[in-house]
Chain A
Amino acid sequence: MEEPNLSYVYNMSGGNKEFEQKLIGIMKTEFPEEKKEYFENIAAGNFSEVAKNVHKLKHKIIILGLEKSYALAARYEDNLLKDSVEGKEDFEAVLQNMTKFLDSL
């Protein structure tokens, strides 16, 4: 599994530590909410809503430098739109990886 990083955040901040902390803070708050919504929709079998959740989560995946995981999420999103959950386990492993990383910040 590839390792998350903050390269994008650092590039975006241009050394502005206040912004870095603000952005990380927003992600730490927003990510668990998005993840919760994803799992609720998965439990309800509402695949079109799950696809929207995955779509939104893709942005955070790429912000954390997870390029392979982003491609995996994009495929999973496509599958969901066809009512298939192929790629679910791999995607949820990505979420776990991100959770661990954001918790460590």
Chain B
Amino acid sequence: MNCIIIDDEATARAIISQLCAEEPNATVLEEFPNAIQAIKFLNQNEVDLIFLDIHMPDFTGFDFIETIKNPPKTILTTSDPNFAIQAFEYDCIVDYLVKPITEERFKKAISKAESSSLPLSNPYVSEDEKTSEKVEGKSGNDLYVNIDRRLIKIDIPSIYLVEAKGDYIFIKTENKNYTVHSTLKKMEEKLPDSLFLKVHRSYIINTKKIIDIEDNSVLIKKDVIPVSRSNRPELMKRLNLL
């Protein structure tokens, strides 16, 4: 696998480079102290795997992923374990390594990257197309809702639940909740199918945020949401079942 390392810390780059040197199937093509330089490199070179730091000045690891169309397999490297949940929102991320990286854990991540079903690809990068591929089909990353005559922007992937309540819908996100005068049907039309599913006549859920499923209900954050019998087969189809 042709790899690149993106990390603003030289110490971290040296460690990852050394770990790659021990792996017969991993060749480090280049190291970058920031994501902008890496984008230019990706435009001109075939890269199979990226080791990507999340915390970088100006342009974070997540910003970087969202800038690339068809990103290669990516292993996130960070000192902060709190981004693990967010990482699972991106199909290209095959593993998440918390620094300091150990040799054993690194080997496991390489093994995951090798066995991942994502194709080894040559990404086409366009700085103009800054919309995440997963959500670009319907409405981009943002949704504007009218609350008290103000248009409030909501980051779509951060929504984990939408509930119908009479003439209103209740939108729950990672950071804030919103009550909007609208219908669940209109909301369904605005949300990407790849992330959201109507599981009940009163509920749309973000399937990436599911914690567990029991009989006819799903647990999302602290909310237990009913799943109607007719919607259950589609929900089960969406899951990566073992």
Q: Residues of A at under 8 Å CB distance from B?
A: 8, 11-14, 16, 19, 22-23, 26-27, 29-30, 52, 55-56, 58-60, 62-63
Taking the complex as formed, is B18 at the interface, i.e. its CB lies under 8 A from any CB of chain A? yes
Taking the complex as formed, is B8 at the interface, i.e. its CB lies under 8 A from any CB of chain A? yes
How near does chain B come to A61, taking the closest CB pair, in angstroms?
10
Q: With A12-B103, A13-B18, A62-B99 given, is the CB distance from A30 to B57 under 8 Å? A: no
Cβ of B103: which chain A residues have Cβ within 8 Å of it?
11-12, 14
Q: List 12 A-B contacts (CB under 8 A).
A: A14-B103, A19-B18, A29-B10, A30-B10, A55-B55, A56-B8, A58-B79, A59-B12, A59-B79, A59-B100, A62-B99, A63-B11
Cα distance, A14 to B10, chains bound together (Å): 20
Q: Which of A11, A12, A59, A62 interacts with B9 by CB under 8 Å?
A: A59
Q: Nearest residue in A to B12 (C-beta to C-beta)?
A: A59
How near does chain B come to A5, taking the closest CB pair, in angstroms?
13
Taking the complex as formed, is B129 at the interface, i.e. its CB lies under 8 A from any CB of chain A? no
Contact (Cβ within 8 A) A55 B100: no
Complex interface residues of chain B between 196 and 215 (CB less than 8 A to chain A):
none
How near does chain A come to B115, taking the closest CB pair, in angstroms?
25
Cα distance, A12 to B55, chains bound together (Å): 23
Q: With A26-B10, A30-B10, A55-B80 given, is the CB distance from A62 to B15 under 8 Å? A: no
Contacts A13-B18, A23-B11 given; 11 further ones with Cβ under 8 A?
Answer: A12-B18, A12-B103, A14-B103, A22-B14, A26-B11, A52-B55, A55-B55, A56-B8, A59-B9, A59-B11, A63-B11
The secondary-structure label for the interface of chain A is helix
Cβ of A56: which chain B residues have Cβ within 8 Å of it?
8-9, 55
Cβ of B102: which chain A residues have Cβ within 8 Å of it?
11
The 0/1 profile, CB within 8 Å of A marked 1, for residues 29-59 of chain B is 0000000000000000000000000010100
Cβ of A62: which chain B residues have Cβ within 8 Å of it?
79, 99-100
Contact (Cβ within 8 A) A63 B8: no
Cα distance, A78 to B100, chains bound together (Å): 19
* Of listed B14, B55, B80, B102, residue having the most chain A CB within 10 A: B14
Q: Nearest residue in B to A56 (C-beta to C-beta)?
A: B9
- Total A-B residue contacts, Cβ distance less than 8 Å: 47
Taking the complex as formed, is B91 at the interface, i.e. its CB lies under 8 A from any CB of chain A? no
Taking the complex as formed, is B127 at the interface, i.e. its CB lies under 8 A from any CB of chain A? no
Cβ of A55: which chain B residues have Cβ within 8 Å of it?
55, 79-80
Q: With A55-B79, A58-B79, A59-B99 given, is the CB distance from A26 to B14 under 8 Å? A: yes
Q: Nearest residue in B to A23 (C-beta to C-beta)?
A: B14
How near does chain B come to A31, taking the closest CB pair, in angstroms?
8
Taking the complex as formed, is B23 at the interface, i.e. its CB lies under 8 A from any CB of chain A? no
How near does chain A come to B61, taking the closest CB pair, in angstroms?
13
Taking the complex as formed, is B223 at the interface, i.e. its CB lies under 8 A from any CB of chain A? no
Cα distance, A85 to B178, chains bound together (Å): 33
Cβ of B174: which chain A residues have Cβ within 8 Å of it?
none
How near does chain A come to B109, taking the closest CB pair, in angstroms?
15
How near does chain A come to B56, taking the closest CB pair, in angstroms?
9
Closest 7 CB pairs of A and B: A26-B10, A58-B79, A62-B100, A59-B99, A30-B10, A26-B11, A26-B14
